Structure 1
Amino acid sequence: MNYKDELYTTRIDIGFPRATNSEKTQLARLEQLRKLKSDKELEHLARNHKLEINLTEARKEWLQTLGPNHKKQIAEHYGIYEHLYGEGYFIPYVNLDIHYELKNGLNLPVYTGNVIKPAEAGEQPSVAYESDDNSLWTLVLTSLDGHLTENDKEYVHWLVANIPSNNIERGDTIIEYLRPFPLKGTGYHRYVFILYKQSEKISYDLKNVTSSSPLEDRTFVTREWYQKHQDSITPSGLAFYQTDWDHTVKDFFHNVLNRKEPVYEYDFPPPYIRPQEWFPLRKPFNLYMDKYRDPKQIKKEYLLRKLKNEDPFKAPPPPLKFPNAHSLPQSMPSWLKLHEKKIRLGWGRINDV
């Protein structure tokens, strides 16, 4: 990881400035807060768990006050700004109301980091936001993780420019929507919606990309693209979700991209094993010796032992109803007794074969 000293790192606000409330508005809010705190009836209902709150109104109030700053803090926690703009950041004052429509008729919203499966994000989502009638906007959906060939680049999954007001359908679709495809074994991927406000109509120097275009045409670097057009666009809205692999990703690679699906496995560092001792005290004999053997050889022995008792012409013997009720030979060592009990119960390495 590249360490950055926050003391010497200059953060740049690339968004719109904070809207300052008048002194009259601030005093009115403080007076309303004092009134609510001194309301005995509200306190009585709250203590008896009978106070009902209108969540729609509460969310509306939150979006107008603390919501944008909370979204910024969440985005910083997930490294969104750093991986999009480097030292740049912005406060998302414009709320994005994004929903994926599911097959059962329900809508799945996109908030700030909620988990959405690839199967649920197969179709283009609906996007709504508040806007003036004479404004122009650009909407971008980009994947910060999972580029197949270059670690420091992204795939842009959707880009609509010159959107009049909040009418997405009337905008210029430069890059058509592409469903997410997080790779197997790579964990959660971040998919980010960014809404930019335009100062004028822009003709981006981007190649038109359709759903049948090669995946390489979607290679994108938000920071370079924004620096090129920063005089004409300002980031205003932000929403993102996380997604991980499911079975539909395999079908997407085979049927849409016409290529094999890459599968990854994390290579964990080997655990530390202290030097072997001549007389290890209070340590199970078999487990202690297995630490210094090849794991593949151990699994092979378990498999051979299992196949030794298999007969393709006979049904397997029924499992013991009460495994530990059957006694073991008294001459058997204690470590071997414990080993046999684990095999009977299906515990431990017996499950690896």
Structure 2
Amino acid sequence: MRFGVLGPLVVWGADGRPVTVPVLKTRSLLAALLAHEGRAVSADRLIDSLWDAGELPGNPSAALQTRVWQLRKVFERVEAGGRELLQLRDDGYVLRAVPESVDMGRFGALVARARVADAPGTRADLLSDALALWRGAAFSGFEDAAFARPLIARLEETLLAALEARAEARIALGEHLDVAEELHELVVLHPLRERLRALQMRALFAGGRVSDALAGYQELRTRLANELGLDPGPEITTLHQALLEQAPALTAVPPAAAPSRRPITNLPAPLTGLIGRQSAVAEVKSLLATARQLTLTGSGGVGKTRLALETAAQLVAAG
């Protein structure tokens, strides 16, 4: 079972088909739980998230329990034992979905992997995979909900940073004019964002459109002065000076790194890295050192298959 919040709220079954979550309040409950990213949420806070003060039902606790029951029923219909994903603890309700089963979790994992990748081609590929997870505005339909607003702002900032990082990687690969074209719309939407403008300037300059690159700096400088009473920051000012001096480093394209090759196996390539399970992988590998077969057990949705695949991939890579 997978969950999507990078766009309209959606639940996907094992076959990849979307599953209907009936009733707006039940969908709101799911959205609120997902927004807390595995942390427990008190019943009082969930009630506040689902109903405005003027529309509280006569028995709010009973009404919440009804929505919880409906959501558990949906989970059980999707996957045997799925109802156990939503649990009541002393500190509140918690949705025990592993981060990789939620698109925003996979997005964050791919961005983190791209951040530490050395080759620009690898960074660009990882970031493209991450950006492909977005189906629209984050938590679409819940933009005004108090539980979603801070997370939406954080996700949108991470999205912009990922778009900038991919543009930077593609500039290093020599895709100058394509990047400049793609950045144009983003610059229009965020005209005062200096890193975005700097990347556009670099792409335009490297693509031979020197006057357009210099004009971009002047436009930013004018906007900052008129709207905020500020001057451009030191980094973009230094870049502007380098453009005026026709610095060779701004047009140099590093040699392409040899692509890394995965061993040929029948294991599926994972979309993201495995987060927070390193000790479990190490334990499974240790047990396999003395046994030819090992069975992983646990309730549905805890990540048994993902753990097995990661362990197998590491054993293959180690030869």
Is this a same-fold pair by TM over 0.5?
Answer: no
Give the TM-score normalised by the residue count of structure 1.
0.20
Structure number with larger C-alpha Rg: 1
- Normalized per residue, the structure richer in strand is 1
Give the TM-score normalised by the residue count of structure 2.
0.22
- Normalized per residue, the structure richer in helix is 2
